[in-house]
Amino acid sequence: MNPITFDDLARLPVIQYYETAFRKVTGMSLKVIPPCESNRRLSFGEFENPFCSQVTKTPVGCRACWDAEKRAERGAGKKLIPEQVSCFAGLTDVAVPVIVNGHHMATLMSGQIFRRPPTERDFQMILKMLKSEENADWETKTRKAYFETLVITPDRFQAMVHLLSVFAQYLADFASRHAIAASAQEPKPVSSAKQFVLSHVEEPITLALVAQHVSISRFHFCKLFKKSTGMTLTEYVALARVEKAKTLLLDVSVRISEVVFAAGFGSIPRFNSVFKRRVGMSPTEYRATLHSSVPM
């Protein structure tokens, strides 16, 4: 079984459910997209901000909107943290990365909202920038959509980003659980090795020990395990320990120093390094994300 891909994530029913729920709660659209930059402007379909739909009917507006989306996607992929950018019209786009085992697997795109109330002066400047040759009907519809665009207060905006981050973490956790689970399609030595690691995750685990457990040579086991899982044994053990740590971090009464050794990490610095590389945030930040309240 190879690690989960973006296409695997995209087929999850929870994706469509969350996109709908997020829109109903916040008034903003949400789209889960691949991690690579798209070669054309992203469309939110029937739930697109009407102003954005009008603007993209002009060549200048379409290019400018695409540029803002690319900057948001690029920033999230490079920094591996939520990225927000303002488009030429003053609307904010938000991109939140889904980080699995230290890799950028997907991006949650949302926004198309104002952070402050729009003004007539702003609108006139936008019309001038667009240099539109559209008719009066286009300008009338664009004006109406512009001043009806959702305005988000700072507190609500931070809550919205938090909701996206929580969902991104949920998707990442799903992918990690999928990757460590045994599969009926895997060779028996690989499934047996996975079960052995999960049963002894808090103990020292070596290649020699696992190969001996499944009764094949270390060389053959390494090739078989890598081919079946897409990971080395060392990478799999680290992933299993991080998943164990995530479970332990749910209990706020358990100190992080206790989590370190209960999950099989030999030291706090190593635990912090491996956890942040694979999850995209520190153990402390992960715990805070799980337990913080979301103001609305």
pLDDT of residue 240: 92
Could you give the C-alpha distances from 278 to 77, 95, 117, 175, in angstroms and in order? 14, 19, 39, 12
Report angle CA 268, 278, 197 to the nearest 5 degrees: 75
At residue 202, the 3 state secondary structure works out as coil
Instruction: Give residue 143's identity as a one-letter amino acid code.
Output: R
Instruction: Return the exposure string of 256-270: e unless at least 16 CB atoms fall within 10 Å of the residue's CB, then b.
Output: beebbebbbbeeeee
Instruction: Give residue 92's identity as a one-letter amino acid code.
Output: T
* Model pLDDT for residues 96-125, shown as the tens digit of each residue: 999 887 788 899 999 999 999 999 999 999
At residue 27, the 3 state secondary structure works out as coil
Residue 1: band (very low, low, confident or very high) from pLDDT cuts 50, 70, 90: very low
Strands 91-100 and 103-114 turn out to be antiparallel
CA terminus-to-terminus distance, the chain: 41
Distance CA 2, CA 177 (A): 13
Q: Is the predicted pLDDT of residue 17 greater than 70, yes or no?
A: yes
H/E stretch holding 190 reads: helix 188-199
Q: Which residues contact 43 (CB under 8 A, 6 or more apart)?
A: none
Instruction: Give residue 145's identity as a one-letter amino acid code.
Output: A
* Model pLDDT for residues 165-217, shown as the tens digit of each residue: 888 988 888 877 777 877 777 899 999 999 999 999 999 999 999 999 999 99
pLDDT of residue 216: 94
Sole residue written with tokens 């805070």: 288
Residue 294: band (very low, low, confident or very high) from pLDDT cuts 50, 70, 90: very low
Tokens at residue 260, please?
A: 């370190």
Q: Which residues contact 35 (CB under 8 A, 6 or more apart)?
A: 6, 77, 97, 98, 104, 105, 106, 107
pLDDT of residue 200: 93
Residue 83: band (very low, low, confident or very high) from pLDDT cuts 50, 70, 90: very high
CA 134, 58, 23, 84 dihedral sign is negative
Average pLDDT, the chain: 88
> What is this structure's pTM?
0.73
* Model pLDDT for residues 230-244, shown as the tens digit of each residue: 889 999 999 999 989
Query: Hey, what domains does the chain have and what are their CATH numbers?
Result: 6-176 (no CATH), 181-291 (1.10.10.60)
